[in-house]
């Protein structure tokens, strides 16, 4: 599991100071990007040096409790499925009291940049993601 901490910023909220629903996806994507970078697959390298990319083909999100501007949150990221061409991450958002305030899932497919066709996960990426697989989910 990977953990990312951030604070809800004013520009992420609506007129009532409440997290705007679409920004939960932004927050989990920030956690995803940092985790990939720490695994050695930063987006700059993926976009500039690799023959594949990792589009999200499915995303879902549930909102359990409100988040307001200034709230500190923790986002826990887990690998919950690894297939031949895809992987699924699950996200749990917790407030400062460690209460679940949201959950989300994203499914990513490995796609060849030249052909725009699905391809098998590259061996090095598969090994690093598989090592983090959470069999309890």
The helix/strand/coil state of 29 is: helix
Q: Which residues are CB-contacts of 57 (< 8 A; sequence separation ≥ 6)? A: 86, 107, 108, 109
Q: Is residue 14 flagged as an active site residue?
A: yes
- Residue 3 CA to residue 108 CA, distance in Å, equals 19
Residue in 14, 30, 124, 134 annotated catalytic: 14
| 88 bridge partner residues | 81, 107
- Return the active site residues: 14
């Amino acid at each position: 599991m990977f953990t990312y901490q951030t604070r809800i910023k004013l520009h992420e909220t609506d007129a009532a100071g409440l997290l705007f629903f679409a920004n939960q996806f932004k927050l989990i994507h920030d956690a995803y990007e940092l985790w990939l970078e720490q695994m050695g697959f930063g987006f700059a390298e993926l976009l500039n040096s690799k023959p594949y990319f990792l589009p999200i083909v499915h995303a879902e999100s549930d909102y359990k409790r409100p988040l307001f501007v200034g709230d500190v949150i923790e986002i826990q990221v887990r690998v919950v499925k690894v297939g031949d061409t895809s992987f699924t991450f699950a996200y749990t958002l917790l407030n400062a009291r460690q209460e679940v305030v949201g959950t989300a899932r994203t499914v990513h497919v490995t796609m060849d940049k030249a052909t725009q066709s699905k391809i098998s996960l590259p061996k090095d990426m598969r090994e690093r993601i598989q090592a983090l697989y959470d069999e309890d989910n």
